Amino acid sequence: MKISGNSILQNRKKFFLKLSTFILLVILLGCSMNKKYTTAYNLYMKSNYVVAIKFYDDYIKNSPNGALATKAELERSDCYYQLGYQAFHKENWLLASRLFYLANSVIADSKLDNCYYKLAEESLNINDINTALDYYDSITTYLTDSELIPEVLFNKIKIYIDSDKKLEAFNDYHLLWSNYPDNKFTISIQPLIDNLIPYYMNQAVEFRKTADYDNALNILFKLNQYPTQFKDEILIGISDLYLLKAEDAITEHKYTQAKKYYSEVIVYDPQKETIVNKRMDEICNEFIQEGSRLVENYKFDEAFAIYETCYELLPEYQKSTDAIEEAKKLKESYTLAFQYKNKAESYENDKEYVKALEFYRISYSSMQMKEVQNKIYMMSNTIKAQKDPKGFALEIIQSFKKGIIVQGVNGLQSDLKDKYGENVKSSGWKVSYALGEFKYEVRFDILASEENYYFVWRINLQTREIVPLNKISEELLKQ
């Protein structure tokens, strides 16, 4: 289909007309946005904060990010603060809290905690305990620099004790004691907490029954920090829990961690030292037996690792040392396979890939190692790449997942021809050298009147690894 010169000229005129109109609209929009900011600022300076906020909102919502937008956000924040300050002095705590929250500034937060505290007091006066706790939590969670936190925690603890929520009371006491040990509120609440310690010890026992050892330890560690007549019972409880954690670590094959736990068992209860040593010896004997089975299957390195694991529990464990020496003697008969592998690597380093492939195959016939198998694969690919690197790169692309890349490209090209007819052109498959030895790029471009597609992949000829270099090429690999 031919396009006349007049038609092209008319299209260009329409394009430039639209472009001019767009530029004009952008200029007008910028002027309008600046006017909204100026209006908001003037209202702000006149202390007309409510209306100023509306204009700031309109400006910020539609303006691009920039210094002026940041300035507008700060000024809007101050509007909320000033309104909150007015409500604060009128003791309208709820309104003030909402406005200070919207202000979202350091100075607003310095007032917001007082609002929440007053709202909590009002809630307590009408026996709305849950709401009061919510306000207290808002202070401790979001206003962590508040000077009211010790008193808030003190109030919460008393509420929890009165409500028979002992664990919650203890958790808040721990926060209070950890962060404010010498505060008057911490000292005042301690006698009440000490009376509850037997209950918390029972809570640790309940966690232990469900194998939640960490929570049980957390409780006992907290109790152990404070002066109490139950100190001996607490220490024995901690020791017992570490013994259980050590057994879990053994089950999970975390032997260094298990050794650490066994050490803690003795630290908190020295009388368990004999029990701990006997148990570690039993575990190491199991390692020796497992290592022997691995040796029988010629898995020497794994066997050595198992034998050496004994040292994580019992350093210089003689039974493990003897087992390692015996396994080393047996491994000598398999040394030949590694000699062939080293010779193959030497040929590979000298780029004599045919010879390298030969000796890798000999090595693999002596001992089937995954590493050598991969080398055989790489050498076979390398030899092909030396003969015809471009042809081999194209072969890799075309054979990937039974031709899925080629099918995708051809399918797209067919769809575009159905849509645009003869206006669709393609570059065909092109292969070129990429940076790095045995690295090549394969490209295929499809050009249509209104759509263009550029496919490109980087190929590692030695490993046949295909790396897409743009999004559309990556999508084909995922199909």
Q: What is the pLDDT of residues 199-216, one digit of tens each?
A: 889 989 999 999 999 999
Span 56-84, pLDDT tens digits: 999 988 877 788 889 999 999 999 999 99
CB 439 within 8 A of CB 431: no
Q: What is the pLDDT of residue 6?
A: 52
Residue 282, token pair as written in the block: 């039993």
Q: What is the pLDDT of residue 315?
A: 85
Q: What is the pLDDT of residue 429?
A: 95
- Coarse DSSP helix, strand, coil percentages of the chain, rounded to the nearest 5 percent: 75, 5, 15
Query: Would you give the end-to-end CA distance of the chain in angstroms?
Result: 36
Q: What is the pLDDT of residue 10?
A: 57
Q: What is the pLDDT of residue 207?
A: 94
Q: Which amino acid is at 150?
A: P
Q: What is the pLDDT of residue 333?
A: 62
Q: What is the pLDDT of residue 112?
A: 94
Q: What is the pLDDT of residue 216?
A: 95
CB 79 within 8 A of CB 49: yes
What number of H helices and E strands is found in the chain?
22, 5
Q: What is the pLDDT of residue 3?
A: 46
Residue partners of 204: CB distance under 8 A and separation at least 6: 215, 216, 217, 219, 220, 237
Low-confidence ranges of the chain (pLDDT < 50): 1-3, 5, 8-9, 12-13, 15-31
Residue 345, token pair as written in the block: 């690597």
